[in-house]
Amino acid sequence: MPVDTHCPYCALQCGMRLTGTTVAPREFPTSRGGLCQKGWTAAAVLDSPGRLTTPLVRTGGELRPASWGTALDTVARRVRALQDTHGRDAVAVFGGGGLTNEKAYLLGKFARVALGTARIDYNGRFCMSSAAAASTRAFGLDRGLPFPVSDLAGAGAVLLAGANPAETMPPFTQHLAGAELVVVDPRRTPTAEAATLHLQPAPGTDLALALGVLHAVVADGHLDKAYVAERTTGFDDAWRIAAAWWPERVERVTGVAAADQRRAAALLAEAGSAYVLTARGTEQHAGGTDTVGAWINLALALGLPGRLGSGFGCLTGQGNGQGGREHGQKADQLPGYRRLDDPAARAHVAGVWGVDPDSLPGPGPSAAELLDSDARALLVFGSNPVVSAPDAGRVTGWLAGLGLLVVADVVLSETARHADVVLPVTQWAEEDGTLTNLEGRILLRRKAVDPPAEVRTDLDVLAGLAVRLGQPAARFPADAEAVFDELRRASAGGPADYAGVTYDRLRAGEALHWPVPRVDHPGTPRLFLDSFAHPDGRARFAPVDHSGPAEAPDDEFPLVVTTGRVLAHYQSGAQTRLVPELASAVPSCFVEVHPDTAARVGLADGDSALVSSRRGSVVARVRAVASMRPDVVFLPFHFAGEGRANLLTNPALDPVSGMPEFKVCAGRLSPVEVR
């Protein structure tokens, strides 16, 4: 019996039809019938030999099969013991942007009610946090794309800042086919290849580039003065900074020709319909929030946001990267994109949960800080920080020093290998659940196949643990629809209001973009058309300036290391490395480097190289790429062991968003003897 569903991977959530474990694409507005290789092969993880099929508990130093009763009892007992000795914050929770809305919601509730800990955050902190913070600052609200993806098809020009959708969400690029593309990327990616204009800045200089293009917009007469006057505040202060960044000065910092900056400004201004979109390349910096703010400034100067046929947006990464940041697994947040430090929000949510508002903990540390805190136990759901966290070697050491590490996952991830208790949970096609895609549309993914016998849903696991920790069973339902109905009430009246979304409406195929405040409300495909979400209805320019990366190259580490993704793998690769077709497409870590830079240290295409930073070393196969900047090397971060690119990355954090500086650190390249 075929079941219409969506791909388990990225936020585009391509439409697919699953018949048993056979995948076929289907028409859907975001994917237009397309699937990339990850989507086509997604079902391979369902029956992969690498699949977890029973709980594991570490005994005598080894992870050994155990019953669910033993596993959950062990977790509950040790959690209680640690909390009794060290306080409730001794136990921390780490979630993921791939979890369904129901899981993310219940995980947040579990942390704050059953565990009573302030320490909960998730891997979306490494993903969407800078864009979210900048959008909230500028518009008063953060929804990745505040318009449907299909609106892009009418664009005359699109600027992609640090986005490589040709590899990260290939079917998305169909929507860009009619537009003049301006691609900002230090590498000549497949997306950049297809661009009308490729701006290739030195890593970590995007903010300066955005200032230069803004300068050109003003100096060349493209400023939308009426829009700036009527719909924004703060232009003068933002311009004062941009005025000091004339394109020739920006050229010297970024390496992007002044003429190209002016051309980018003209392409966007003269397109009639234009969009500015950001993604991780420009966001994953210690100055990521300000950098996104600079791109938003550009969009505002051109009069794009909040107008039909133009706009600003960010391309969300993980499958539920949008919903995952709305419903309470974030350190500072309650369901409905409410703030944890807002007394009214606390009262509302505590009311839904049937607890005293004062019993709710306050905001906790961001993900990277949490993984460096004095917590004694960590419960991980749907994340693999051993591979995906910055300065991964240090994080791995921190995990090893915990009194208790619990990992709920589909496969035995690198993080799970370090765990004391491993809980096998269901995945995408084995369970019901909702996700919110990159355009804020809520999607129902329905169960299509039965999970292995000893595999439970995350909701089940949370319910089981909550009861063992003394919570009433009724407070932690394990049925997805029941959890969703509670989420609707908890989110009601919040910025991300799901009150009017029901499983029945989703089953009927309704396209519902939040906010949906009532069941008779049609949803909100386009935000901001009348006003922005600040009290005065205006968007805010951000007075942001360029300051550069946290770690600059020097004599010892003369190169800039940047990290990213390849088409064949997803995130930490825990799933995709198990798919033979994907593993053979890109089997191991590689380092893209200019052939001259490689040759200078005696390396050539195909050689094994050692890439080092102040924090660690990675072994990677050399890919000599002539379009690389000679001062930059690139590594994908999907690989484990000695191919872990995050052994190199700098954990310097954005002061606003808590985003680590994944995209720039100083490094060195040298040959490695083949072992």
Binding site for another protein (CB under 8 A): 25, 34-37, 40, 166-167, 170-174, 190, 194, 202, 218-221, 236-237, 239-240, 243-244, 246, 248-249, 251-252, 255-260, 567-568, 581, 585, 594-596, 599-600, 626, 630-631
CA atoms within 13 A on the CB side of 670: 11
Amino acid at 193: E
Give the span between the Cα atoms of 467 and 465, in whole angstroms: 5
Q: Please say which residue, 258 or 274, places its beta carbon nearer to another protein.
A: 258
Cβ-based neighbours of 117, under 8 Å, separated by 6 or more:
88, 89, 90, 91, 92, 93, 111, 361, 364
Give the span between the Cα atoms of 348 and 357, in whole angstroms: 8
Q: Please say which residue, 506 or 666, places its beta carbon nearer to another protein.
A: 666
Residue 40, Cβ density class (10 Å: 0-12 exposed, 13-18 middle, ≥19 buried):
middle
Q: Please say which residue, 404 or 561, places its beta carbon nearer to another protein.
A: 561
Q: Minimum CB separation from another protein for residue 221, in Å?
A: 6
CB distance 25 to 39 below 8 Å: yes
Q: Minimum CB separation from another protein for residue 169, in Å?
A: 9
Q: Minimum CB separation from another protein for residue 13, in Å?
A: 15
Q: Minimum CB separation from another protein for residue 550, in Å?
A: 17
Give the span between the Cα atoms of 402 and 58, in whole angstroms: 14
Q: Please say which residue, 221 or 354, places its beta carbon nearer to another protein.
A: 221
Q: Minimum CB separation from another protein for residue 279, in Å?
A: 16
Q: Minimum CB separation from another protein for residue 666, in Å?
A: 13
Q: Minimum CB separation from another protein for residue 340, in Å?
A: 30
Q: Please say which residue, 255 or 493, places its beta carbon nearer to another protein.
A: 255
| In 509-606, beta strands by DSSP E | 512-513, 539-540, 559-564, 590-593
Helix (H) or strand (E) run with residue 661 in it: strand 660-661
Q: Please say which residue, 193 or 356, places its beta carbon nearer to another protein.
A: 193
Q: Please say which residue, 201 or 335, places its beta carbon nearer to another protein.
A: 201
Q: Please say which residue, 498 or 639, places its beta carbon nearer to another protein.
A: 639
| In 234-382, beta strands by DSSP E | 274-278, 311-314, 333-334, 338-339, 377-381
CA 631 to chain centre: 27
Q: Which of 573, 443, 511, 388 is nearest to 7 (CA)?
A: 443
Q: Minimum CB separation from another protein for residue 431, in Å?
A: 27
Q: Please say which residue, 40 or 503, places its beta carbon nearer to another protein.
A: 40
Q: Which of 349, 412, 14 is nearest to 174 (CA)?
A: 14
Give the span between the Cα atoms of 121 and 364, in whole angstroms: 8
Q: Minimum CB separation from another protein for residue 51, in Å?
A: 23
CB distance 496 to 333 below 8 Å: no
Residues recorded for the chain = 675
Q: What is the CA radius of gyration of the chain?
A: 24
Two tokens at 352? 């839904």
